[in-house]
């Protein structure tokens, strides 16, 4: 028993040995060691700023058609030009950041939370519950992500909140699988056995001893899925199954008019694509670096 207590203290003790960093030093170190991750974080901050301040920053109303200003070239008046309804593309892109971030965050958080909970339950309960949940997850995993999202979206119909559901569902089994694996290895740790032997309730074991240990992989999955969710929203909206007109969704801005007016107004199809790519790029870079620093196996590589 004594050795068990000692063992569980080891990580805490070694963490104390590491020099404590202030927030500024921490950020400076992150920028130095993970330049690409810092770049990603910067992109995300800009995007967050655009989304939060879209109301004040946007020079025009993103919804209001202005038929006197159709197909304006990018210039001082309209930085990114105007579309076939005379709407300012720059303003629509700023407002589009809200939709991309909203769908990205809610879908990946919802999918990963549900998946994570199922994963923990599956790992902790074991037996039949585990077997049934695992088989169900296998079935969900048998569908390519976009196809499952398409099928769900086709039934729910085009609307932003339906897109969130359509994107979140395929995330569930992916999160469940990773969290279950971690929870399983945590469950077999000696200290979990020890607290169970000391008479801790199941709720206490799960909430205080298993959940805190699956947070790191959970965060990794949430960031990894964020980029995918933003891309999926763009793809669904592009295909006409996501946000509906006149919502300024980046994917929707690329559908139809972008290729129809390719010759006349190529900027309509240019800027929303840049916005999507930058956003996904930022989240991918940050997610990669976060995984590198949170996963001890990859640390120091």
Query: Applying CB under 8 A, which residues contact another protein?
Result: 36, 135-136, 138-140, 142-148, 150-155, 157, 227, 231, 234-235, 238-241, 251, 254, 258-259, 262-263, 266, 269-270, 272-273, 276-281, 284-285, 288, 301
Count the Cβ atoms, other than its own, within 10 Å of residue 42.
14
Per the structure block, which two tokens stand in for 234?
């763009």
- Partners of 82 in the β-ladder: 88
Residue 62: CB minimum distance to another protein, A: 20
d(CA 263, CA 21): 55
CB 27, CB 45: distance < 8 Å: no
Residue 189: CB minimum distance to another protein, A: 21
Cβ distance to another protein smaller for residue 35 or 59:
35
Residue 193: CB minimum distance to another protein, A: 24
Per the structure block, which two tokens stand in for 151?
């099928």
d(CA 11, CA 108): 30
Residue 6: CB minimum distance to another protein, A: 31
d(CA 173, CA 112): 9
CB 153, CB 163: distance < 8 Å: yes
Cβ distance to another protein smaller for residue 160 or 239:
239
Cβ distance to another protein smaller for residue 146 or 186:
146
Cβ distance to another protein smaller for residue 154 or 201:
154
d(CA 154, CA 64): 29
Cβ distance to another protein smaller for residue 150 or 210:
150
Residue 169: CB minimum distance to another protein, A: 10
Cβ distance to another protein smaller for residue 16 or 263:
263
Angle subtended at Cα 255 by Cα 254 and Cα 259, rounded to the nearest 5 degrees: 80
Residue 7: CB minimum distance to another protein, A: 27
Break the chain down into helix, strand, coil percent, rounded to 5: 75, 0, 25
């Amino acid at each position: 028993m004594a050795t068990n207590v000692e063992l569980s203290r080891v990580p805490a003790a070694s963490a104390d040995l590491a020099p404590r960093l202030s927030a500024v030093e921490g950020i400076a170190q992150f920028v130095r060691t993970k330049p690409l991750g810092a770049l990603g974080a910067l992109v995300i901050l800009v995007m967050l700023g655009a989304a939060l301040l879209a109301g004040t920053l946007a020079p025009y109303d993103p919804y209001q058609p202005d038929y006197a200003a159709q197909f304006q070239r990018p210039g001082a008046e309209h930085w990114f030009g105007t579309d076939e309804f005379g709407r300012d593309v720059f303003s629509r892109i700023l407002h589009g950041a809200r939709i991309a971030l909203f769908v990205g965050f809610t879908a990946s958080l919802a999918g990963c939370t549900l998946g994570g909970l199922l994963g923990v339950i599956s790992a902790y309960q074991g037996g039949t519950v585990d077997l049934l949940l695992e088989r169900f997850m296998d079935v969900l995993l048998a569908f390519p992500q976009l196809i499952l999202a398409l099928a769900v979206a086709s039934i729910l119909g085009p609307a932003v909140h339906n897109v969130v559901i359509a994107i979140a569902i395929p995330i569930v089994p992916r999160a469940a699988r990773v969290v279950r694996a971690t929870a399983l290895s945590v469950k077999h740790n000696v200290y979990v056995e020890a607290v169970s032997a000391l008479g801790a309730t199941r709720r206490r074991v799960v909430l205080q001893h298993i959940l805190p240990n699956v947070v790191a992989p959970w965060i990794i999955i949430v960031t990894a899925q964020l980029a995918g969710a933003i891309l999926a929203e763009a793809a669904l909206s592009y295909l006409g199954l996501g946000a509906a007109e006149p919502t300024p969704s980046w994917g929707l801005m690329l559908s139809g008019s972008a290729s129809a007016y390719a010759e006349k107004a190529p900027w309509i199809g240019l800027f929303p694509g840049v916005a999507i790519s930058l956003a996904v790029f930022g989240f991918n870079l940050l997610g990669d670096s976060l995984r590198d620093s949170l996963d001890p196996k990859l640390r120091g590589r």
